[in-house]
Structure 1
Amino acid sequence: MSSKKRLENLDLIRALAIILVIYYHVTQMLIGNLFSNRTLFYFGHHGVTIFFILSGFLIGGIYYKQEQIKPSKFWLSRFLRTYPPYLIMLLASWLSVYITRNEHFDFGFLLLIQNFYKEIPYFLISWSLAVEEHFYLLFALLILGISNRKIQFYFWILLGISPTIFRILFYSEGGEFGFYKTASFLHIDALSIGVILAYLVHEKKLTIKVKTWHLCISFVTMITIFYIISKHENIYTWSLGHTLANISIGCWLLFSYHYTTIKLAKSAFIKQTAIMAYSLYLVHPLVIHFSMAVFKKFSVTSISLQYSATLVLIYMVAYPFYYLVEKRSIQIRDRLLKT
């Protein structure tokens, strides 16, 4: 099977992940109080976890496909890929809260430590970007400190297990959106599982003859676990439930990687959504807030109109942001690092 087919299926996973996240936030902010089924509403929250595992798999793949890699260049490549677009949207988000409520700029956002705050003051979705950046740094330090890939593998296994215990120790019911829900050590297992899969696939050359029923069962299992976690929010679903969710996502990703190209993955919409996933993630919260302000000003009460208009506007903003900011950032990185 060609890598193109594998990547198309992974693009489908990436597109689904960002669609889930956007669905979650649009529903939460526009019609959250009217949404009677909390379980279905909360489903979109798991899109971030899918992103984490996919990211770990792809970054691990970059590493394990090469005989040798320079840690500093590896980290700098990821930093230049993600930080400039993040910085632009951070400033845009801060300007919006400064204008509306005179919020002062928090320099912790520049250091990406906001996910360790007791409560994140604004640009809430940036917590997951902080987790990602901490993961990139950890990956580079691990390469620098440990050259033996087998020992590295054991380290990733340890990181794939320990957050389950951390989630129990630091469990906090309700409360502010910050440290107890967003700290990096509570989510590093998802990224670690992705790296573990990358090691097995690219270093150990693991191949699986996947049949359609394998893919279907893994997907249904994943959705079932999502349903249980969404319906019952307690210490067990937060700790062990998320661990099982990570494993189920990992199985679904592994089967999708080895499966023939799924027809839906070939659609233009899925391909474009996957390409713009990072831009969509960055811009969508500010677009939702802008839409809400417009709907309030012009007394737009139709929920269907609010929903559809917001979704269209998110894509309309993300499209130029990708080509003018994110893609340009990638080009500059490639020139600087000559990749």
Structure 2
Amino acid sequence: MKILPEIHSIPRSHPSRIAALDMLRACALLSVVIYHSVQMSPVPLPTLSLVTTNGQYGVDLFFVLSGWLIGGLYWREMQLDGQVNIARFWGRRWLRTLPPYFVALALSWGAVRFSRGEPFDPGYLLFLQNYEERIPYFLVSWSLCVEEHFYLVAPLLAGALFALTARRYFWIACVGLLAVSPLCRWLEWNRHPAMDFGYIQTATHLRLDGLVMGFAMSFIAIHSPRSFGQLRSSALPILAATIGGLVAIRMIGGPTCFALWPLLVSIVFAAVLVATGTKKSDDRGWFPWSAIALSSYSAYLVHPLAIHVAILLAAGNSIIYWPAAATVTIAGTALLYFTVEKPAILLRDTYLPRRALMRGKAMSLGGKS
């Protein structure tokens, strides 16, 4: 019996890439990089900024994709083995994310230490900077804090809920988790006045919508493929209705908009993911989308520093700024990816391979004996 008919984007036991998911990840990265490049341009571009400011929602798309992919790994192992090796799960996540993060952190802090004498904040070592009222430097790291906190807690909470809740009622727990961040945002309304980029925009409990959404969607895909198929057929109507909801709450404004906006944005991206990223597709011809997707983590980490370097090189000349920003970002991404991120991935896959791969090798050896 086929457990997952046509669900080709759930992480599999071989390293093939999914073109649609790569395209979504590449779009998320490019939207964020373009947004920051325009935002930090030495020559103000107010008209262009009206469009590129929406690039900030690329982070929400990253959250949905991360929840979907990590959830796929988690729920598939749960389905095959009846449990998840939490230590291995954490180890694989940390080997994948921590080495590039700490290198990028060292570069970012070194830059601000040199330029303005900024002292090192030890909270960065524990991913606590997203709870500061003002993030002093390396601002993009706030989203990594949210993800690392989620990686730490999600497998424990999901395992407990799965063990204590009947499978047919598990969706109720998922809906409850989806309500956490909107409720917290509602309670935070007016508690924090306008401030520099920090807590009110970045605290983990205020930004869980996308990760929980993706994680829950992967559960449905694996444990109830029929329901997921129905959801996929309804993706476009859901997308249209949610966009209408975004327009409505923007008109309402106030605490309603503050509380519900990130949730509805996450639903939009979840609908796009379900509609485009879970169908059969020809994975050939994935370049350049997969090249961008492969290095998206490194690019996300280094692009703010690369933009600052481009600003210095341009010395106020916008004609020089744009090619300099592109060149330095690409070079910095390649350097971090090939010297840190890729070796860390190889190290992870050597010493902490996926359980499915280990099982496949054992069966292969058993067949040969």
Q: TM-score, structure 2 length as denominator? A: 0.81
Q: 1:256: which partner in 2?
A: 276
Instruction: Spell out, residue by residue over 1:254-298, the C-alpha distance to the aligned partner (whole angstroms, 9 max, x if none).
Output: 1113334389x94422110111110110010110011111111xx
Deviation at 1:234, TM superposition (A): 4.9
Q: Trace 1:177-256 onto structure 2 (pairs within 5 A).
A: 177-206=197-226, 207-208=228-229, 234-256=254-276
Distance 1:127-1:50 versus aligned 2 partners, 3 A rule:
same
Distance 1:54-1:301 versus aligned 2 partners, 3 A rule:
closer
Q: 1:42: which partner in 2?
A: 53
Deviation at 1:236, TM superposition (A): 3.3
Deviation at 1:7, TM superposition (A): 2.1
Cα distance between partner residues in 2 of 1:231 and 1:6: 41
Q: 2:340: which partner in 1?
A: 325
Q: 2:121: which partner in 1?
A: 106
Cα distance between partner residues in 2 of 1:204 and 1:197: 10
1:300 to 2:311 alignment = no
Distance 1:295-1:222 versus aligned 2 partners, 3 A rule:
farther
Deviation at 1:19, TM superposition (A): 0.7
Q: Is the 8 A contact 2:135 2:198 kept in 1?
A: yes
Q: 1:18: which partner in 2?
A: 29
Cα distance between partner residues in 2 of 1:289 and 1:337: 37
Distance 1:18-1:301 versus aligned 2 partners, 3 A rule:
closer
Distance 1:161-1:249 versus aligned 2 partners, 3 A rule:
same
Q: 2:179: which partner in 1?
A: 161
Instruction: Spell out, residue by residue over 1:188-230, the C-alpha distance to the aligned partner (whole angstroms, 9 max, x if none).
Output: 121101011101111212453899x977767677777778889
Q: 2:367: which partner in 1?
A: none
* Unmatched 5+ stretches in structure 1: none
Structure ID, larger Rg: 2
Instruction: Spell out, residue by residue over 1:55-112, the C-alpha distance to the aligned partner (whole angstroms, 9 max, x if none).
Output: 0011110011122311121112111110111000001100000000111111100000
Cα distance between partner residues in 2 of 1:226 and 1:268: 34
Q: Is the 8 A contact 1:15 1:274 kept in 2?
A: yes
Distance 1:238-1:33 versus aligned 2 partners, 3 A rule:
farther
Report the more deviating stretch, 150-159 or 52-61.
Answer: 150-159
Instruction: Spell out, residue by residue over 1:141-185, the C-alpha distance to the aligned partner (whole angstroms, 9 max, x if none).
Output: 225544527376543321211211211221345312111110000
Q: 1:311: which partner in 2?
A: 326
1:175 to 2:195 alignment = yes
Cα distance between partner residues in 2 of 1:224 and 1:43: 17
Cα distance between partner residues in 1 of 2:254 and 2:324: 35
Q: Is the 8 A contact 1:210 1:255 kept in 2?
A: no
Q: Is the 8 A contact 1:209 1:258 kept in 2?
A: no
Q: 2:365: which partner in 1?
A: none
Q: Is the 8 A contact 1:165 1:239 kept in 2?
A: yes
1:120 to 2:135 alignment = yes
Q: 2:357: which partner in 1?
A: none
| Counterpart code for 1:306 | Y
Q: Is the 8 A contact 1:9 1:262 kept in 2?
A: no
Q: 2:297: which partner in 1?
A: 278
Cα distance between partner residues in 2 of 1:144 and 1:216: 32
The number of residue pairs the alignment matches comes to 333
| Counterpart code for 2:295 | M
| Counterpart code for 2:229 | I
* Unmatched 5+ stretches in structure 2: 1-5, 10-15, 355-369
Q: 1:57: which partner in 2?
A: 68
Q: 1:288: which partner in 2?
A: 307
Report the more deviating stretch, 307-316 or 178-187.
Answer: 307-316
Cα distance between partner residues in 2 of 1:338 and 1:278: 20
Report the more deviating stretch, 224-233 or 327-336.
Answer: 224-233
Distance 1:227-1:146 versus aligned 2 partners, 3 A rule:
closer
Deviation at 1:235, TM superposition (A): 3.5
| Aligned residues: CA RMSD | 3.0
| Counterpart code for 1:187 | R
Report the more deviating stretch, 242-251 or 43-52.
Answer: 242-251
Q: Which secondary structure state, in structure 2, belongs to the residue aligned with residue 33 of structure 1?
A: coil
1:335 to 2:364 alignment = no
Q: Is the 8 A contact 2:38 2:49 kept in 1?
A: no
Cα distance between partner residues in 1 of 2:278 and 2:231: 6
User: Which of 83, 87, 112 does residue 102 from structure 2 map onto?
Assistant: 87
